[in-house]
Structure 1
């Protein structure tokens, strides 16, 4: 019985991705062992935060780093850092800043909901979100017109949730931020390249530890030394409610070390999905293919197009049936409204592709829909 089964919870097969709602990642044994050892020992947390920053810097090419509970907390803490700095009185007033710049400017197509609202994360850090442009069209002038003496930073969201066309590039925001003398914050929560955004000139970059890194529930901010010092200082303020435990910091750092020696998994993902699609042979109403992640990451998924007339169920009905079972099977469903379901191989444990294929056959061929 699994750790969750002991509490009466169903088994979950995660074919959706590194999703917070499903527990993000199943960590490697080495990460789990490191966390177990850290959980049974003691450390001066302030010293651990500084040491973690050094390791994060090594892994990202940044000047320094700060561990967080996740990328969402990273946005809030980075916001607080550019508003309050290391001034304790200002830190303690957040999220209601008194005096000084507090506006965080982002394009409307980046004001996304990722399970919560990006603009709410800004507000938690004491920032006033200023959305510019339109959902699918932003010009450089929208940013230059919006930057005033109240602007604390620009924010760029690198995510599949964000609008992918008609928006201004990170390079354009870097140019504006540099010209205006204000920081540029990048949310790169699930991104795989830990060096890219620092190399492109971002001042602070927020990552998730439980997504591409396959670490525990955690995250980190990397960037300019002075701003990272200000990030750590927020643990005396709003960051206190977002503090990350010793075991999760150690798990994050262990995952970072493992990540640095990883191989590109794209070819293996394609191989697994090709085998999976062959297991669907003979199931009517499913047309399969392999596609790359829409944001350009080296992630390859199986794309299943569901034909209602042939399958007897549409994509949304199929999703509900998969999720209602035990094990509950969760797929990637951003395009279910047009009859498409995706299978993400990254979080699948060995043999689970076969379980998914068997359940699809059970639903469509055998008509078992209870």
Structure 2
């Protein structure tokens, strides 16, 4: 170790000295002392590492104590502010993926957000029947809405669709056989697969048919005295095209009636809107599947429905009532915030035009190209005016995606802003944007940052421009 480094080490301030500095004292008014103390220790450790590595050559002349103290204090402020920031943070989604699982999937409608606020700000009648004054059901606020909207006899809600499938299979087929087409043994999010969920439920899987073709006779030939259920799984996250044949729900219902077996349909990303009428690929609606005769239908609340995370189960009352009595129901039940948000979301569907305009998922999927293009052009021009000396900004054609394992063949043409920074790499720019408040997440593509405004919420354009400008002005210095 050089003599200069030994000198620098002697002048590193102590923890108490740093805590008494005015900038650090001011932190203590808004940040817990334990977090500030941790930030001080990390800052001092960082300065020690920098001295050891010989990276503080600029301190070779001058007042060592003041200069080192200043660096430790500045680092402490940065560390404390960072560690005090919530781990779950607001993000501006510029990926163009509407139902982005990593970013929380569906953005809630304003009415749903208000409903959550109301539920959080005081007590609610979550399990109290206000008419009788007796204990009620937490499904009551949404059950009538679900039956009204879908045409089903009864409904209940659990915490996600995997739980809905698990509960349904465990209630109706525990220890028994469930017949399903080999082409429908899908893998859902997080590497969970239908066969694994089925095994966990206690049901025994019976595969029939082939990957691309399954006939009603395949199911018929597999039915035994041990068969409890015929299962249809909608391949919501992929499509098999070409030489194919799938047994329809109506065909399964007819077969189930013949043998006295219930038919269950797992829709995955269930929709209450016919997307074909909106110029998007067709997706079976919950109403259509119920009308076709399915005894039990399961689907998600936070995908195409545009609500909170939930697993929704609708169908024949005798089956739903059995599920409600299953002990597993308590383990997968929803809380008051889900009830509130789901009720508000479902109420929007009572007027279909309201749903298209007020539920962000539907608004993004059906956004008009002309309006979207003009919004993108306006942002691009604003960025050129404010940060044109720091990066090149262009508009480029791109394709947005539905995401969330829904509408896998849908192509959503969009116009995006292409950012090519001049003072730092695209990877560095993307990293710095993730550290901002709010964080900005775009798409890295061919050494470019692509910003797709389809998934940028109304009113966020100026905020996005502010964040990008701020980061580019810091440039390569902050990145290193």
TM-score, normalised to structure 1's length? 0.71
- Structure 1 residues 331 and 140: CA distance shift in structure 2, 3 A: farther
Gap change, CA 1:267 and 1:224, over 3 Å in 2: same
The count of residues paired between Structure 1 and Structure 2 equals 340
* 1:35 pairs with one of 112, 116, 119: 116
Residue 163 (str. 1) matches residue 239 (str. 2):
yes
1:125-136 counterparts in 2 under 5 A? 125-133=201-209, 135=211
SS at match of 1:195: helix
Q: In 2, are the aligned partners of 1:74 and 1:221 still within 8 Å (CA)?
A: yes
* SS of residue in 1 equivalent to 2:107: coil
Q: Does 1:113 align with 2:188?
A: yes
Q: What does the per-residue CA deviation read over 1:120-168, in whole Å, with 9 as the maximum and x for residues that have no partner? A: 3333333334455555x23326843773224422122242x23342586
Q: 1:141 to 1:247 in 2, by over 3 A?
A: closer
SS at match of 1:62: coil
Deviation at 1:111, TM superposition (A): 1.1
Map of 1:17-36 to 2, 5 A cutoff?
17-36=98-117
Aligned positions of 1:199-278 closer than 5 A: 199-234=291-326, 237-261=327-351, 262-264=354-356, 265=363, 267-278=366-377
Check whether the contact 2:397–2:416 (CA below 8 A) recurs between aligned residues. yes
Counterpart secondary structure, 1:268: coil
* CA distance in structure 2 between the aligned counterparts of 1:49 and 1:325, rounded to whole angstroms: 40
Separation (CA, whole Å) in 2 of partners of 1:5 and 1:60 = 45
Mean Cα deviation higher: 221-230 or 275-284:
275-284
2:178 corresponds to which residue?
103
**Equivalent residue for 2:165, pick from 37, 61, 75:** 75
> 2:80 is matched with which residue?
none
**What secondary structure does 2:139 align onto?**
helix
The answer on whether the counterparts of 1:11 and 1:328 sit within 8 Å (CA) in structure 2 is yes
* Cα pair 1:140 1:172 within 8 Å, conserved: no
Q: State the alpha-carbon separation in 1 of the partners of residues 337 and 307 from structure 2.
A: 11
Change (3 A) 1:7 1:220: same
Q: Deviations over 1:299-348 (max 9, x none)?
A: 8453769999xxx989xx69965874434334589xx79x9979473563
SS in 2 for 1:47: coil
Partner of 2:440: 329
Change (3 A) 1:6 1:324: closer
Task: Provide closer, same or farther for how the CA distance between residues 204 and 215 of structure 1 changes in structure 2, counting only shifts above 3 A.
Answer: same
- Please say if residues 321 and 369 of structure 1, whose CA atoms lie closer than 8 Å, have aligned partners that are also in contact: no
1:64 Cα deviation from its structure 2 partner: 1.3
Partners of 2:180 and 2:207 in 1: how far apart?
6
* TM-score where L is the length of structure 2: 0.57
CA distance in 2 between partners of 1:330 and 1:50 (Å)? 39
Does structure 2 retain, via aligned residues, the 8 Å contact 1:155–1:184? yes
| More displaced 10-residue stretch of structure 1: 16-25 or 249-258 | 16-25
The DSSP-based 3-state class of the residue aligned with 1:13 is strand
* Structure 1 range deviating more: 11-20 or 262-271: 262-271
**Structure 1, unaligned stretches of length 5 or more?**
84-96
Higher RCO (Cα < 8 Å, 6 or more apart): 1
Return 18-27 or 278-287, whichever deviates more.
Answer: 278-287
Unaligned segments of structure 2, at least 5 residues: 1-82, 129-134, 274-285, 357-362, 385-391
Task: Confirm or deny that 1:154 pairs with 2:231.
Answer: yes
CA distance 1:142–1:369, change in 2 (3 Å): farther
Displacement of 1:257: 0.4
The structure whose Rg is larger is 2
Structure in which a larger fraction of residues adopt helix: 2
Distance 1:204 1:274, change over 3 A: farther
Answer yes or no: is the 8 Å Cα contact 1:216–1:248 preserved in 2.
yes
Q: Is the 8 A contact 1:187 1:207 kept in 2?
A: yes
Q: Any idea what the Cα deviations from partners look like across 1:44-89, whole Å, max 9, x if unmatched?
A: 4752325532221012121111112122222212222322xxxxxx
Helix, strand or coil: the match of 1:153? strand
Q: Does structure 2 conserve the Cα–Cα contact (< 8 Å) formed by 1:12 and 1:330?
A: yes
Give the alignment's Cα RMSD to 1 decimal: 4.5
